[in-house]
Copies of this chain bind each other. A is one copy, B any other.
Amino acid sequence: MSRWEPNARGRLEEAALALYAERGFDQTTAAEIAKRAGLTERTFFRYFTDKREVLFAGREVLQDIFTEAVTGAPATASPIEAAAAGLEATGALFAQRRDLVRQRQAIIAANPVLQERELIKLAALATALAGALRRRGVPDVTADLTAEVAMAVFRIAFDRWVQETGEPDLTELIRACLGELKRITNPEPARRKRK
Protein backbone atom coordinates (compact mmCIF):
# COMPACT_ATOMS: atom_id res chain seq x y z
CA MET A 1 0.00 0.00 0.00
CA SER A 2 1.36 3.37 -0.95
CA ARG A 3 2.01 5.78 1.89
CA TRP A 4 -0.21 8.37 0.14
CA GLU A 5 -2.95 6.10 -1.06
CA PRO A 6 -5.14 8.29 -3.27
CA ASN A 7 -8.39 6.95 -1.94
CA ALA A 8 -7.57 7.00 1.78
CA ARG A 9 -9.36 10.27 2.46
CA GLY A 10 -12.55 9.07 0.81
CA ARG A 11 -12.44 5.71 2.60
CA LEU A 12 -11.91 7.40 5.96
CA GLU A 13 -14.77 9.78 5.30
CA GLU A 14 -17.17 6.98 4.37
CA ALA A 15 -16.12 4.91 7.38
CA ALA A 16 -16.52 7.89 9.71
CA LEU A 17 -19.99 8.78 8.47
CA ALA A 18 -21.12 5.16 8.77
CA LEU A 19 -19.82 4.90 12.34
CA TYR A 20 -21.24 8.28 13.41
CA ALA A 21 -24.63 7.16 12.10
CA GLU A 22 -24.41 3.74 13.79
CA ARG A 23 -22.97 4.72 17.18
CA GLY A 24 -23.25 8.47 17.37
CA PHE A 25 -20.48 10.98 16.86
CA ASP A 26 -19.43 11.14 20.52
CA GLN A 27 -19.08 7.36 20.80
CA THR A 28 -16.77 6.99 17.80
CA THR A 29 -12.96 7.19 17.93
CA ALA A 30 -10.41 7.98 15.24
CA ALA A 31 -8.93 4.50 15.76
CA GLU A 32 -12.29 2.89 15.01
CA ILE A 33 -12.72 4.97 11.87
CA ALA A 34 -9.28 3.96 10.63
CA LYS A 35 -9.97 0.30 11.38
CA ARG A 36 -13.32 0.36 9.54
CA ALA A 37 -11.56 1.95 6.56
CA GLY A 38 -8.83 -0.73 6.63
CA LEU A 39 -6.18 1.88 7.42
CA THR A 40 -4.01 2.75 10.40
CA GLU A 41 -4.78 5.43 12.96
CA ARG A 42 -1.57 7.10 11.83
CA THR A 43 -3.01 7.37 8.33
CA PHE A 44 -6.18 8.88 9.75
CA PHE A 45 -4.16 11.66 11.34
CA ARG A 46 -2.31 12.34 8.11
CA TYR A 47 -5.64 13.42 6.60
CA PHE A 48 -7.62 14.81 9.54
CA THR A 49 -6.63 16.59 12.73
CA ASP A 50 -9.48 14.90 14.65
CA LYS A 51 -12.76 13.06 14.14
CA ARG A 52 -14.71 16.31 13.92
CA GLU A 53 -12.53 17.49 11.07
CA VAL A 54 -13.85 14.63 8.91
CA LEU A 55 -17.18 16.44 8.83
CA PHE A 56 -15.79 19.90 8.13
CA ALA A 57 -12.66 19.46 6.01
CA GLY A 58 -14.76 19.94 2.88
CA ARG A 59 -15.41 23.55 3.79
CA GLU A 60 -11.92 24.53 2.67
CA VAL A 61 -12.52 23.06 -0.76
CA LEU A 62 -15.89 24.80 -0.86
CA GLN A 63 -14.31 28.11 0.08
CA ASP A 64 -11.70 27.77 -2.67
CA ILE A 65 -14.39 27.00 -5.26
CA PHE A 66 -16.49 29.97 -4.10
CA THR A 67 -13.71 32.49 -4.11
CA GLU A 68 -12.06 31.29 -7.33
CA ALA A 69 -15.35 31.53 -9.22
CA VAL A 70 -16.00 34.99 -7.78
CA THR A 71 -12.52 36.11 -8.77
CA GLY A 72 -12.92 34.59 -12.23
CA ALA A 73 -16.30 36.18 -12.97
CA PRO A 74 -16.29 38.72 -15.83
CA ALA A 75 -15.28 42.25 -14.84
CA THR A 76 -18.72 43.42 -15.97
CA ALA A 77 -20.51 41.09 -13.52
CA SER A 78 -22.38 42.85 -10.72
CA PRO A 79 -21.52 41.81 -7.14
CA ILE A 80 -24.52 39.46 -6.93
CA GLU A 81 -23.69 37.98 -10.34
CA ALA A 82 -20.12 37.31 -9.22
CA ALA A 83 -21.38 35.76 -5.97
CA ALA A 84 -23.90 33.68 -7.93
CA ALA A 85 -21.06 32.36 -10.08
CA GLY A 86 -19.39 31.25 -6.86
CA LEU A 87 -22.47 29.43 -5.61
CA GLU A 88 -23.25 27.78 -8.91
CA ALA A 89 -19.70 26.49 -9.21
CA THR A 90 -20.34 24.24 -6.19
CA GLY A 91 -22.96 22.19 -8.04
CA ALA A 92 -20.35 19.96 -9.65
CA LEU A 93 -18.51 19.45 -6.35
CA PHE A 94 -21.56 18.01 -4.65
CA ALA A 95 -23.22 16.27 -7.61
CA GLN A 96 -21.71 12.84 -6.90
CA ARG A 97 -21.83 13.15 -3.14
CA ARG A 98 -25.50 13.56 -2.25
CA ASP A 99 -25.70 10.37 -0.15
CA LEU A 100 -22.62 11.31 1.85
CA VAL A 101 -23.93 14.86 2.29
CA ARG A 102 -27.27 13.54 3.54
CA GLN A 103 -25.49 11.30 6.04
CA ARG A 104 -23.37 14.23 7.16
CA GLN A 105 -26.34 16.57 7.62
CA ALA A 106 -28.21 13.96 9.69
CA ILE A 107 -25.20 13.55 11.99
CA ILE A 108 -24.85 17.29 12.46
CA ALA A 109 -28.59 17.75 13.06
CA ALA A 110 -28.34 15.23 15.92
CA ASN A 111 -25.51 17.03 17.73
CA PRO A 112 -25.74 20.64 19.02
CA VAL A 113 -21.96 21.03 19.26
CA LEU A 114 -21.61 20.07 15.60
CA GLN A 115 -24.41 22.46 14.68
CA GLU A 116 -22.44 25.27 16.32
CA ARG A 117 -19.37 24.29 14.37
CA GLU A 118 -21.44 24.31 11.16
CA LEU A 119 -22.66 27.84 11.87
CA ILE A 120 -19.09 28.99 12.45
CA LYS A 121 -17.92 27.43 9.21
CA LEU A 122 -20.77 29.03 7.26
CA ALA A 123 -19.93 32.40 8.80
CA ALA A 124 -16.31 31.91 7.74
CA LEU A 125 -17.47 31.14 4.19
CA ALA A 126 -19.48 34.38 4.12
CA THR A 127 -16.38 36.28 5.27
CA ALA A 128 -14.26 34.66 2.54
CA LEU A 129 -16.89 35.47 -0.08
CA ALA A 130 -17.04 39.09 1.06
CA GLY A 131 -13.25 39.24 0.82
CA ALA A 132 -13.32 37.94 -2.75
CA LEU A 133 -15.91 40.60 -3.64
CA ARG A 134 -13.80 43.36 -2.03
CA ARG A 135 -10.85 42.29 -4.16
CA ARG A 136 -13.09 42.96 -7.18
CA GLY A 137 -13.43 46.55 -5.94
CA VAL A 138 -16.88 46.11 -4.39
CA PRO A 139 -17.36 48.59 -1.50
CA ASP A 140 -17.42 47.18 2.04
CA VAL A 141 -21.11 47.29 2.89
CA THR A 142 -22.15 46.03 -0.54
CA ALA A 143 -19.60 43.21 -0.34
CA ASP A 144 -20.74 42.16 3.16
CA LEU A 145 -24.42 42.30 2.29
CA THR A 146 -23.97 40.47 -1.02
CA ALA A 147 -21.91 37.75 0.66
CA GLU A 148 -24.42 37.26 3.49
CA VAL A 149 -27.34 37.16 1.09
CA ALA A 150 -25.53 34.76 -1.22
CA MET A 151 -24.78 32.45 1.73
CA ALA A 152 -28.46 32.55 2.71
CA VAL A 153 -29.35 31.47 -0.83
CA PHE A 154 -26.74 28.73 -0.68
CA ARG A 155 -27.91 27.36 2.68
CA ILE A 156 -31.53 27.25 1.63
CA ALA A 157 -30.85 25.75 -1.80
CA PHE A 158 -28.51 23.22 -0.19
CA ASP A 159 -31.10 22.21 2.41
CA ARG A 160 -33.67 21.69 -0.33
CA TRP A 161 -31.19 19.67 -2.34
CA VAL A 162 -30.46 17.44 0.66
CA GLN A 163 -34.13 16.96 1.53
CA GLU A 164 -35.82 16.60 -1.83
CA THR A 165 -36.64 13.23 -3.23
CA GLY A 166 -35.67 12.34 -6.78
CA GLU A 167 -32.50 13.64 -8.34
CA PRO A 168 -32.53 17.40 -7.78
CA ASP A 169 -29.76 19.45 -9.36
CA LEU A 170 -28.02 21.72 -6.86
CA THR A 171 -27.07 24.34 -9.44
CA GLU A 172 -30.70 24.53 -10.62
CA LEU A 173 -31.92 24.92 -7.04
CA ILE A 174 -29.38 27.70 -6.44
CA ARG A 175 -30.60 29.50 -9.58
CA ALA A 176 -34.22 29.10 -8.48
CA CYS A 177 -33.35 30.51 -5.06
CA LEU A 178 -31.54 33.46 -6.64
CA GLY A 179 -34.65 34.13 -8.73
CA GLU A 180 -36.78 33.90 -5.60
CA LEU A 181 -34.43 36.35 -3.87
CA LYS A 182 -34.96 38.82 -6.71
CA ARG A 183 -38.73 38.48 -6.41
CA ILE A 184 -38.63 38.78 -2.62
CA THR A 185 -36.62 41.97 -2.60
CA ASN A 186 -38.62 43.57 -5.42
CA PRO A 187 -42.19 42.40 -4.91
CA GLU A 188 -44.56 43.21 -7.73
CA PRO A 189 -47.61 45.31 -6.85
CA ALA A 190 -49.91 42.37 -7.61
CA ARG A 191 -48.58 39.70 -5.34
CA ARG A 192 -48.95 36.01 -5.79
CA LYS A 193 -47.97 33.34 -3.32
CA ARG A 194 -45.20 31.16 -4.54
CA LYS A 195 -44.11 27.75 -3.37
Interface residues of A (CB under 8 A from B): 78-81, 115-116, 119-120, 123, 137-142, 144-146, 148-149, 152-153, 155-156, 160, 177, 180-182, 184-187, 191, 193-195
Contacts and interface: CB of A to CB of B under 8 A. Distances in A.
Contacts of A137: 193
Given A78-B187, A119-B120, A182-B185, 7 more contacts: A81-B187, A139-B194, A141-B177, A142-B180, A145-B156, A148-B155, A149-B152
Copies in the complex: 2
B177 A181 contact: no
Main secondary structure on chain A at its contact with chain B? helix
Given A119-B123, A180-B141, A185 B148 contact: no
